[in-house]
Structure 1
Amino acid sequence: MRITQGTFSFLPELTDAQITKQIDYCLAKGWAIGLEYTDDPHPRNTYWEMFGNPMFDIVDAAGLMLELRSCRRTFPSHYIRLTAFDSTHGTESVVMSFIVNRPKDEPGFRLIRTEEPGRTIRYSIEGYAAQRAPEGSRY
């Protein structure tokens, strides 16, 4: 199962040259860029671990690509997301995010059906990655 989250979720994987062009676009807009990673990409898991601090003062995509390569070396079997923030309104608002690394095997999610009183049926999803223990070695 291929996880689809973020701006370019339904496109084929971006190459490093395409990622660099997106970084250039973000920098031209004055957005700060951060890298985040996780081994559990549940859709409600919006708080991924940060790889370093957001880069507020970076002016060249080459510096960010260096950080991305370092993050990929450190977490080769994790999802890595590039996130751009717009701080022009006084708060950090995410304006763009997309996955720049994913594990070779994406286990996906299972649908859980629960019957409640009054013929109510509730559905939820659970990542297969969350069933594996310990955390951090789920893949």
Structure 2
Amino acid sequence: MRVTQGAFSFLPDLTDQQITAQVQYCLDHGWAVNLEFTDDPHPRNTYWEMWGLPMFDLADAAGVMAELAACRKLHGDLYIRLSAFDSTAGWESVRLSFIVNRPAEEPGFRLDRAEQSGRRIAYTTRAYATDRPEGSRYGA
């Protein structure tokens, strides 16, 4: 199963050259770029670990790509997401976000069903990866 979150999620993984082009687009528009990583990509998990601080006032995508390389070196077996924040008045939110790194194996999600009063049924989505403790969900 392939986790699909953010822009480009239904496309094949972007190459570093394509990521660089997207980062440069963000920087050209004055957006701050940041990197985050996690071993639990559940759609409701909005609190990924931040890699360093958001990168403000950069003009060249090379700085972001160097940070991405460093993050991949340490967390290459996890999900890494790149986000671009627009601080312009009226927007003040994320303009672009996409996954730039995935673990070699993506175990997917399970749909748990619970019957409730009457004929109601509640569903919960749970990642198979969370069957293992945090920090050991991917890899050996």
TM-score range with shorter-chain normalisation? over 0.9
Percent identity among equivalent residues? 67
For residues 63 and 76 of structure 2, what CA distance do their matches in structure 1 show?
A: 19
Aligned residue pairs, count: 138
Instruction: Report if aligned partners of 2:32, 2:56 keep a CA contact under 8 Å in 1.
Output: yes
Which amino acid in structure 1 is aligned with residue 131 of structure 2?
Q
For residues 77 and 91 of structure 1, what CA distance do their matches in structure 2 show?
A: 33
RMSD: 1.1
For residues 20 and 46 of structure 2, what CA distance do their matches in structure 1 show?
A: 24
Would you say 1:118 and 2:118 are equivalent positions?
yes
- Equivalence for 2:37: 37
- Equivalence for 1:23: 23
For residues 13 and 106 of structure 1, what CA distance do their matches in structure 2 show?
A: 14
- Give TM-score, length-normalised by structure 1: 0.96
Deviations 1:40-63 (A, max 9, x none): 000000111000000012111011
- Flag structure 2 segments of 5+ consecutive residues without an equivalent: none
- Equivalence for 2:109: 109
Q: Structure 1: which 4+ aligned runs deviate by more than 4 Å?
A: none
Deviations 1:5-60 (A, max 9, x none): 00110011000000000011101111000000000000000111000000012111
Instruction: Report if aligned partners of 2:32, 2:84 keep a CA contact under 8 Å in 1.
Output: yes
- Flag structure 1 segments of 5+ consecutive residues without an equivalent: none
- Give TM-score, length-normalised by structure 2: 0.95
Deviates more, 1:29-38 or 1:91-100: 91-100
For residues 109 and 124 of structure 2, what CA distance do their matches in structure 1 show?
A: 10
